[in-house]
Amino acid sequence: MSQSRFKIYSHTAIEPDTWAEIDLMQIRENLLAIRNYLPASTKLMAVVKANAYGHGDVQTAKEAALAGADYLAVAFIEEAIRLRHAGLTLPILILTPIRPELTPLALEYDLMLTVTQASWFQEMRAYKPIHTKHKLQVHLKMDTGLGRIGIRTRQDWQELVPWLLAPDILVDGFYTHFATAGHADTSYLEQQIQRFQDMKRWSSELPMPINHYHCAGSVAALRFPELSMDMVRIGAAMYGFYPKQHKQSLELKPAMSLHSRLLQTKRVNKGDYIGYDNAYQAQTEQWIGTVPIGYADGWTQRMQLTDVLVGGCRAKVIGKISMDQLMVQLPAYVPPGEKVTLIGGAGEESISIQELAEHIGSVPQEISSSITNRVTRTYKRSGGKTNERIPSKASAL
């Protein structure tokens, strides 16, 4: 699948016109900074779903393991199996329930499952005999107010309990996810926390202890370290995405930049149209550049009127973004072949993924995870201030 396609790109001698550059050292520095910020007893689960938010799942997971992550998390079972095939041995939690018939695969690959209802166990039993030597490891997901997946009522919980007592089930975790961790008004967050505390009390009625209670993603964990509990699930912050209104002592920097090259430069006349549907009309004579990236690369049409950097200057994306190309208004003539930066710095200027996210009314991770397979990922290690303190987890590779 995507892996083989990526190989074809990277094994040919063709240098791509458009590429995303991932600084693995930055991912490591972010993780080490987060680790140091959190209580020492809190475990760190590195969330590498969606191709590690576009950064490359295997490369990121290996880097996270080197930086001392205790767990990995993905959304779907296929993502977890890819990591196992790549040699990752850390515990992996699948955050979305899998279909019961895939349970044998979860056992084969030693994956932890998210469970949200009794009926799942009932159906799962058709595929897993009770008396096999392998325990099925599960994390129970509580819906405390996000309204997405999870147990909501005491009755749902009570229906689940008998299934948890089976000798081949190991309840490794009990968790929830917040809807408004970044909001200035924390009242809904407090409601969810209260709800989770109540549900934790239900769980204490079980005859066995549960190893990990966890509720915090990046924003909750870094804004309120007291919510860290036994484990935090860190995605966005590891990639350097963190809402600037909550900036505190720890310094996180984005690990991804995105670049292309000018394909063509032309002088257009006053009144000339640019792009589909004549969406842009030149009001004066001007220089227009064409860049070979479009919505099929994940650069959505919502990016119209954002800036790119060409020759160290900002240039506006004008007209409609098409599937493979977009046009920019250049401040002056720039020769074809010149580097274009869509995310990141060039010279004095820089374009942050946060700025782009604000333009499209979304979050940085929507942009990074939307960058498609057609864009080659290149990896570098900027080095610098990281001390090579590689925890013993390195052996986990």
Ligand X SMILES: *Cc1c(COP(=O)(O)O)cnc(C)c1O
**Rule CB under 6 A: which residues touch ligand X?**
47, 49, 95, 177, 217-219, 233-237
The beta strands (E) that lie in the chain are given as 19-23, 43-47, 71-74, 92-94, 112-115, 136-141, 169-175, 212-216, 231-234, 256-261, 264-268, 273-274, 280-281, 286-291, 307-310, 313-318, 326-330, 339-346, 349-351, 376-380
Nearer to ligand X, 221 or 262 (CB): 221
Cβ closest to ligand X, residue 178 vs residue 280: 178
Q: Provide the annotated active-site residues.
A: 49, 276
Ranked by CB distance to ligand X, the top (closest) residue is: 235
In angstroms, give the least distance from the CB of 146 to ligand X: 9
**Is there a binding annotation on residue 199?**
no
Give the up-direction half-sphere exposure of residue 240: CA atoms within 13 A in the CB hemisphere. 23
Spatial contact of 113 and 149, defined as CB atoms under 8 Å apart = no
- The nearest distance, CB 316 to ligand X, in angstroms, is 30
User: Residue 252 in contact with residue 237, Cβ under 8 Å?
Assistant: yes
**Interatomic CA distance for residues 229 and 217, integer angstroms:** 12
Q: Smaller CB distance to ligand X: residue 94 or 288? A: 94
Distance between start and end Cα atoms, the chain: 23
Would the annotation count 208 as a binding residue?
A: no
Give min distance, CB of 302 to ligand X, in A: 21
Q: Cβ of residue 287: shortest distance to ligand X, in angstroms?
A: 40
Token digits for 370? 């939307």
Query: Looking at beta carbons only, is 241 or 295 nearer to ligand X?
Result: 241
Cα separation of 174 and 393, whole Å?
Answer: 24
Annotated binding site for substrate: 148, 323
Annotated binding site: 148, 323
